[in-house]
Chains A and B, each alone.
Chain A
């Protein structure tokens, strides 16, 4: 197992650890999810049909509207949320939603494209207060 530490901007939320679910696609809770089933439901999304629940979701950027700011809180209250979300670049709505839901959220990685640096099923520990993400790869 190889361990790497990625540096990013100081983030939001608590330290958290989980398995990564990675795509170079973008993210909106309103546009992309069936929040009842806990899966990506938008047919065109690269993660269509996959569960995001209790995953460290790694995506390119945020898209769409403002609803995600409430929805992350609502999803977390039902235990149907990701553990954390990592972006190349977040928008205000996702940051606001992370803050409201107390969900771990980081962006602006110094080492390059985070959707390439982390692979699905890598074990990831996110430390928002330090701006650090520790990646344990099976490969």
Chain B
């Protein structure tokens, strides 16, 4: 492949992996069974789309991916992009990207919750996954092995069935290096996200592995989805252990020498200070967003239930963003209709911050954004928004009132 005998796409892929592998002192490539690619057109730009189109022009035997390869959320929901005041140019670039990806044999799943909806990996499986929330969940909760793979590297893995063997593909890098004791039990998804943010901020390194002890309840998949997504967002962390909960940490001593690591306490006061940094009661709210990660069917159902007999304020937009698989079920079960009847908009196959968030803000006059996602409020400040964080229940109450409750 490196010599070009299997075509330019695979030669590029090998050259790319060699560069990355050499940077991280990988001495070989590891075979991977699945690839998952983040490739929204806002990130790729025209240059990125043209790169993939060039690849798509090669003969099938030279361009098709060699392992199952799926996609992260896109930036456009074609049914609603005009409602969001995204432009036709954005939609056209999106169509070009989709055409090119499909020509490579990539399955357009358009989701960051593939571990809940498509095909969850199993313990020990080596992967090339993109989207930090996907990676940290699959490493931590399922015991799979993946580094953060950006779009180009995931594509290289898809074309070759391999990725450089460094980081979390190596067992010795999966042991805990920083220890947390939690003295407050999270009570909802937002607080799980807040815990992830607090651990992530303390850790703040891809190369450190936090172990979290003293969680006395059994979290749900959605709880851990928000925990991991926030931890990865605030700290670039790709793996954590929850003692007695995640598979590599049946006990504290299974992942570290307990006496060798200093203990960082996380208290209720830390949670309170974290929430206080996002939003002030009484502030007007332009847009309330449930996204990042995409909502599970359970979250969609909870949202519909909380919106029952309520009406979103006319000056506030409420967006519920989910995967195409969940959207199909939510539509079939009447869940989407309930959200829409209350004045909300259900979007599928995209994620808010991957959807030209700055341009949407300018076009719609949005400044203040409220969400129950700690990950989203962390990201969106750079796009010019003033973010507020609260539970789903408080977000809905605020959406109805048009201001932070």
Contact = CB atoms under 8 A, between A and B. Distances in A.
Interface stretch (B38-46, B184-192, B265-273): B38-46
A6 interface: no
Contacts of A95: 20, 23-24
A64 B132 contact: yes
Nearest to B50: A77
A77 B23 contact: no
B167 interface: yes
Interface string B21-39: 0111000000000000011
B124 interface: no
Contacts of B383: 41
The interface centre, meaning the residue of A63, A76, A92 with most chain B CB atoms within 10 A of its CB, is A92
Interface stretch (B76-84, B199-207, B299-307): B199-207
Nearest to A32: B382
A74 B150 CA distance: 14
B150 A89 contact: no
Contact of B206 (A34, A62, A99): A62
A11 interface: yes
B48 A74 contact: yes
Interface in A14-49: 26, 30-34, 36, 41-45
Contacts of A11: 23
Interface stretch (B217-225, B232-240, B322-330, B396-404): B232-240
Interface residues of A, number: 43
A69 B23 contact: no
A9 B204 CA distance: 21
Interface string A99-123: 1100001000000000000000000
A93 B238 CA distance: 12
Contacts of A96: 16, 20, 149-150, 152-153
Given A41-B382, A70-B45, A10 B233 contact: no
Contact of A77 (B16, B47, B236): B47
Contacts of B149: 66, 92, 96
Interface of A: 9-12, 26, 30-34, 36, 41-45, 61-71, 73-74, 76-78, 89-93, 95-97, 99-100, 105
Interface of B: 16, 19-20, 22-24, 38-40, 43-48, 51, 130-132, 147-153, 167, 204-207, 232-236, 353-354, 358, 378-379, 381-384
14 contacts: A30-B353, A32-B382, A61-B206, A63-B234, A65-B148, A66-B131, A69-B153, A73-B45, A73-B47, A89-B206, A93-B148, A96-B20, A96-B152, A99-B23
By Cβ-Cβ distance, the 7 closest A-B pairs, closest first, are: A69-B150, A74-B45, A77-B47, A91-B206, A42-B382, A99-B19, A70-B43
